[in-house]
Amino acid sequence: MEEIITLDYGSGGKKTSQLIEEILLPAFQNDALGALSDGAVLSGEEKLVFSTDSFVVNPLFFPGGNIGKLSVCGTVNDLSVSGGIPKYLSLSFILEEGFPMDSLKKIVASIRDTANSCGVQIVTGDTKVVERGKGDGIYINTAGIGFLRCPGLGTDRIREGDAVLLSGTAGDHSTAVMLARDGLLSEGGVVSDCQPLHLLAQKLFELGPALRVLRDPTRGGIATTLNEFVENGPFTIELEEEAIPVKPAVAGACDILGLDPLYCANEGKLLAIVSADQAQEALARMRSLPEGADAAIIGQVSTKAPGRVLLKTSFGGTRILTKLTGSQLPRIC
Amino acid sequence: MEEIITLDYGSGGKKTSQLIEEILLPAFQNDALGALSDGAVLSGEEKLVFSTDSFVVNPLFFPGGNIGKLSVCGTVNDLSVSGGIPKYLSLSFILEEGFPMDSLKKIVASIRDTANSCGVQIVTGDTKVVERGKGDGIYINTAGIGFLRCPGLGTDRIREGDAVLLSGTAGDHSTAVMLARDGLLSEGGVVSDCQPLHLLAQKLFELGPALRVLRDPTRGGIATTLNEFVENGPFTIELEEEAIPVKPAVAGACDILGLDPLYCANEGKLLAIVSADQAQEALARMRSLPEGADAAIIGQVSTKAPGRVLLKTSFGGTRILTKLTGSQLPRIC
């Protein structure tokens, strides 16, 4: 008989202990977690970065990843774009009664492998179980602590003439998830870009103050993140549509699905604003790593239309890119 | 028309910004959160404690608290029993489409008030929205960082003859929530003990190595937590049933509901193991604060039955208290 999650696993009693001891502890062995107390004791340093995300992606498994890998990458990437070296993660599950134990094991294995590949430790956690129909299989929250290595990143550093860099192709994650959700898994081989970006970020930290601001453009996509960079300020971001890398399969799938890659979530891309004189250096640094192989300079900072993001289209026109309105893609991450 | 949560609020676009700017930021103003980036930069110290919990309590509002207050107390208390001074919290919502905005505002206000009362700052957060029928109104995750003030707490410190202290009455939280769930709100005036325990813990930190281990007995109750203290080890905990404080209204409600207060979750009580010679001092310290007014010495450590918790009943018998089996009370926190 297939093993499934029952409400017992959330009771705090024997079944909860069993879940922790048989599935979670073996996956995430370390001294802090092994103490099995309510909190983890960690070695700290002078300045910390701290971030959290909950993950509700549907479907749970998609080409290029699953909710487990995503839940590690998401927080590792948030810590990285905040100027931190990711160190510790917390991990919390909300499981729906009836969820297959086998799926949980696969997800836990992904979490373990991804955390190991990033050098982060899962040091504390929690598991709750809700009744059938009150969840959707599994929701995951991670929170992360990193040590600050690149202080001062922020939109207040942006200056006229700065370059806008994107570390790779736009829209891969949303498109892969939407195709998987619609059962079109084989459609064109679109794969999520879900990957950790800590090494790519650290390559850029070395640029010092020439690195203005970093962000991973997830929900709302590149268009929304760039708007957040300049909104309510004196600067404009002018993008060159032709310079923005988009995989042909993603462009094709977006056409079919009625999506715009510039508003699609990425889960393995960095947007960076860099001073003009360091733009080529930043580009070379990105391209020196596999996760930045398709990096490109996609635009620059001006004062043409304060607070706006402008797109120079392939046809020679210019249009305003606003923030995402409405919910283009619910439960994409 | 009643304002409700729609999927738009989880899009990462304009509605998400609106939720953050109109409801969340005004509630939790601080510089780290105000930067509105993906992670918070924090001042750290040498050693940290880190903890997380997800909260799925049903109903969301109950006598003595709500899911918001609970989500702050839960993590503040986990940090406190880990020997930490709670400093920073992350806050993540999983909202169900259709959730009333008014309820969200009440919950956010509770989170703000409770965090303020504990001197902790909400410094980073996340909001996701799932479709109707894929959640249950609101689930909350908090993760917390504290500075380690009382190193070395742990079950390895326990010695024969040590005293077992409970900071107040048993079973208030579970009982209040179960009565509220059954629509028996007025039954006997049972109120959850949901409260922050950081000050009570800090009073005990001053005992130094005489303080062996601290825990807040939530899911699984006092019986389960005490089993965790001694399982697989050489010691026994012997409890005096008559010494364990239980409010008459809670005892009565437990009779009606078929619950055992020793297995009911508490959300505002500490269990402490203290060396025999400091037991009275520890008791006096607990009772010096309102949240410890009903504190009692409820048992002691022996070697009578290694790894077991024994209860000497009011009738003169002795029975073994095992860990909770099954799920006495799903979604109690």
pLDDT for the residue numbered A186: 62
By CA distance, what is B89's nearest residue in A? Answer: A50
Mean pLDDT of chain A: 91
Interface contact flag, A50 B35, Cβ < 8 Å: no
Contact A62, A190 (CB under 8 A): no
Domains of chain A by residue range:
7-148, 155-321
Rounded to whole angstroms, how far apart are CA atoms A93 and A85?
24
Least CB-CB distance to A49: which of B40, B54, B330? B40
A155-321 architecture in CATH? Alpha-Beta Complex (3.90)
Helix (H, G, I), strand (E, B) or coil at A8: helix
Chain B positions touching A178 (Cβ under 8 A) are none
Mutate to test the interface with A, among B19, B30, B50 (most CBs of A within 10 A): B50
Top-tier CATH class for B7-148 = alpha beta
Q: What is the pLDDT of residues A179-216, one digit of tens each?
A: 998 887 666 789 999 999 999 999 999 999 999 999 99
Q: Which of residues 186-215 of A touch B (CB under 8 A)?
A: 215
Residue A224 forms contact with B (CB below 8 Å): yes
Q: What is the pLDDT of residues A17-50, one digit of tens each?
A: 777 788 777 877 777 666 665 666 666 666 889 9
Q: How far apart are the CA of B114 and the nearest CA of chain A, in angstroms?
A: 20
Same fold, B7-148 and B155-321: no
Least CB-CB distance to A143: which of B35, B143, B154? B143
Q: What is the pLDDT of residues B284-313, one digit of tens each?
A: 999 999 999 999 999 999 999 999 999 999
**Percentage above 70 pLDDT, chain A:** 93
Chain A positions touching B17 (Cβ under 8 A) are 323
Chain B positions touching A131 (Cβ under 8 A) are 330-331
DSSP A120-150: -EEEEEEEEEE-TTSS-SEEEEEEEEEEE-S
pLDDT for the residue numbered A327: 63
CA atoms within 13 A on the CB side of A235: 22
Within B231-293, residue ranges assigned H as helices are 248-257, 279-287
Is A240 or B189 the better-scoring residue by pLDDT?
A: A240
Least CB-CB distance to B53: which of A126, A330, A331? A126
pLDDT for the residue numbered A45: 61
Q: Give the pLDDT band of residue A16 (cuts 50, 70, 90).
A: confident
Q: What is the pLDDT of residues A44-82, one digit of tens each?
A: 666 889 999 999 999 999 999 999 999 999 999 999 999
* Chain center to CA of B260: 19
Q: Could you list the pLDDT tens digit for every one of the 333 residues in chain B? A: 778 877 777 777 777 777 778 877 787 777 766 666 566 666 666 688 999 999 999 999 999 999 999 999 999 999 999 999 999 999 999 999 999 988 998 999 999 999 999 999 988 888 888 999 999 999 999 999 999 999 899 999 999 999 999 999 999 999 999 999 888 766 678 999 999 999 999 999 999 999 999 999 998 899 999 999 999 999 999 999 999 999 999 999 999 888 999 999 999 999 999 999 999 999 999 999 999 999 999 999 999 999 999 999 988 999 999 988 876 678 999
DSSP A171-217: SHHHHHHHHHHTT-TTGGG--------HHHHHHHHTTGGGEEEEE--
DSSP character at residue B233: S
Mean pLDDT over residues A243-266, rounded?
Answer: 94
Residue A81 forms contact with B (CB below 8 Å): yes
Q: Which residue has the tokens 């993660």?
A: A89
Closest of B44, B75, B71 to residue B147, by C-alpha: B44
Rounded to whole angstroms, how far apart are CA atoms A99 and A76?
27
